[in-house]
Each structure stands twice: as C-alpha cells, then as structure tokens.
Amino acid sequence: MRILQVIAYIDRGGAERVALQLAAGLVAAHHEAAIAAGHGAWEDRVVEAGARYFPLPDHAASMPAFVAETRALRHAIAAFRPDVLHTHNVAVTVSTALAARTLRPRVAMVTTFHGVPPERYRLAARLLAVAGGRVAACSQTVGDQLIKAGLPGRRVEVIPNSTGVPAVAPETAAALRRELRTPGRYLVVGVGRAVEQKAWQVLLDAAVQVPDTDFVIVGDGPLLHSLSRDAYDRGVPVRFLGGRDDVPAILEIADCFVSTSVWEGLPVSLLEALHAGLPGVVTGVDGVPDIVGPSFVLVPPQAPDRVAAGLRTVLADITRYRDLAGATAASLRSEGPEQMVAAYARLYDGALASARRARSTP
C-alpha cells in the first residue's frame, strides 16, 4: 500500500510523533509512506523514517491560506498517488477531502481524531461526516464523545495513541541531572506546548504551594515568553525550557509528571511518562482517565489548589507512588507502536476495500 499522511505541521508534538511512528512502522512493514505537512522542527525525521516529505504552506484560518493548502495537497496527492489518505484532525481533513475530490480515481480516506475542546465536538462531527472516510479516535472516551456529537458509530474505530521510549544513556541522564536538578529538591516535569489548552498558568499558581520542589516545562508555543516572564517576576520555581528533543531523558531524571490541560485527546507525553515509570498529577479530561492508574492523581481543570494538593500527596509518599508507577511501566512493556501500526494497517485495508466497492458501483 501507499499511504500519504497529512498533518498541519511536522513540529514537536504528540500527533506529530504518532504520524512519524506510523510512517516508520509502515515502511518497516514494506509499505510506501509519505507525510504532507507544514514546515517544522521534525522535517528531517520524516526522511529518517524512510518516508517521503511533501511541504505544505503555513496552516492558517484564512481563505487564501486554505486555498494554498488545498492546491499543495492536490499536488502531493497527484505526485505520490496514494492508495490511502490519512489525515490528522479536522481542519486538515476538510482541505484534504476537497483536494482529493478533484482527482480520479477517488482515494480512500482515514482520519485520526486527536480531540478538540468540548464545545467544538458537534462541529467536528459534522465536518468529519461531510469529509467521508473512516475515523480513528485516539481513545475510547474521545470516540464516545464524537459519536455522541453526531458522527455515526459505524464510521468510528478506537485506535489508541502509542509510543516507544528509547533507553537513556547513563551519561545523558547524569548531564541532565546537573542541568536541571537541585540537590535536596524534588523535580516535577510537564510536557506540552505553551498554549492556552495546556493552562500552564494554573501550574504557576500551584507551584508556589509545593515546598522544596522545582518544575520544568518542555514545549514551544506562542505563550512561552509571557509564561517565562511571569514565572521570573513572581519568583515561582518553574523553568520553561522551550522545545527539546530529549523528553524521554528528562522524564528519566524526574520525580513526578504534571499536566494542567483543559482538554486532551490521549497525550503522547503522558504515555511517555507512564513508560518511564513516573507517577503524576494530571487533569482528568477526555482520554486521560482511560489510561492512568493508581500512580496518578486526577484533578479537575483550572484548579491550582487541587493540583498543588495532588503534588504534595504524591511527593510526600514518593516511594510508594514510584513503586506503583514502576508496576504500570512493566505492564506496558509489551505494548508499543507495533500494535498501533498493525491496527492502522487493518483500518487501511477496510477503507481501501470500501473505496474499491464504491468505484465499482454503477
């Protein structure tokens, strides 16, 4: 099979990591893979995965940008001639479906739905219904919410995000400890872009209530400068590191993971924390409760006092929580990107068979 994935940007992020892992897995299984995406920090990783890269113009909410993106997608589809188009999230799905409809023969479509804010589910369901094709929800809860919003259940399949965590060299871990850890203090790590969705301002309000603890946040984004400035001005022990490619190593040296998101699909950073054997405190939104166990404390969004209380609870009994997290990590060792790739391959087969039947129908 020839599979062309389409994503807004190939930058550091969870959906992007899923796309890259999927491309590498498809190539390993002797399929041909390509990714069409806007420019980003991980462009080189597309080629490293063995896939072909088609650059797209910057994704933006304007008609000229939409037209430019659709034109570039039409070119990518015509050049690669995929059997299956696999899009990630809703806006890209709309432009890809429009580009594909001008070409013959029609190409099978699959969309991975990584989640949207709660108030946008109905619109997402309507747009995905019009775009056509199969929809893979990244978690059971996300899939249930999408069906509840109006997308027919026969169109939805749950394929959870997955990740693999590379081994961390001892010298790498030692260097990071010197860079990020202060003797006698705990280290709590958060991973996510500096955007409103991640609500890192809540963590700033919580951090001042957690003694003897330093916090580091990994991720780029438009709010990075203002959050960093706010933390500095207030004397809050939170460092914003920006985008980095050594997240697994940073998790390796941490005591605890934290997430304050107001919505999520199934965050890959949380999966990485689970694989690393970290306990954590996370907002119990969307697909998050589907995967965390007793090593995590769930809190409501926009509740800094609850985040602080959860962190104090975990850090006060860190040995027990690390033991629980270690047991979870051990149970996950048999799970990885291979299962996700196999599930998508089956979904591609079904979508391709449906497309062929549609072509043969008079």
The answer on 197 and 274 residing in a single domain is: yes
pLDDT of the residue at 290: 93
Nearest-angstrom CA–CA distance, 95 and 65 = 10
Q: What CATH number is given to the structural domain containing 276?
A: 3.40.50.2000
Helix count (H) and strand count (E) of the chain? 15, 13
Please tell me the total number of residues recorded for the chain in this structure.
362
The answer on 191 and 154 residing in a single domain is: no
> Residue 263 to residues 37, 183, 279, 282: CA-CA distances in angstroms?
24, 34, 20, 11
The answer on 129 and 177 residing in a single domain is: no
The answer on 148 and 198 residing in a single domain is: no
Strands (E), 138-180: 156-158
pLDDT of the residue at 159: 96
Low-confidence ranges of the chain (pLDDT < 50): none
pLDDT of the residue at 359: 66
The answer on 206 and 71 residing in a single domain is: no
Nearest-angstrom CA–CA distance, 18 and 20 = 5
Element housing 231 (H / E): helix 224-234
What is the extent of the structural domain holding 284?
170-332
Q: Are 246 and 122 in contact (CB under 8 A)?
A: no
The answer on 310 and 354 residing in a single domain is: no
Task: Give me 85's structure tokens.
Answer: 């188009």
pLDDT of the residue at 270: 96
When divided into structural domains, the chain yields a total of 2
Nearest-angstrom CA–CA distance, 306 and 271 = 22
Q: Are 311 and 298 in contact (CB under 8 A)?
A: no
The answer on 74 and 148 residing in a single domain is: yes
The answer on 313 and 181 residing in a single domain is: yes
The answer on 156 and 23 residing in a single domain is: yes
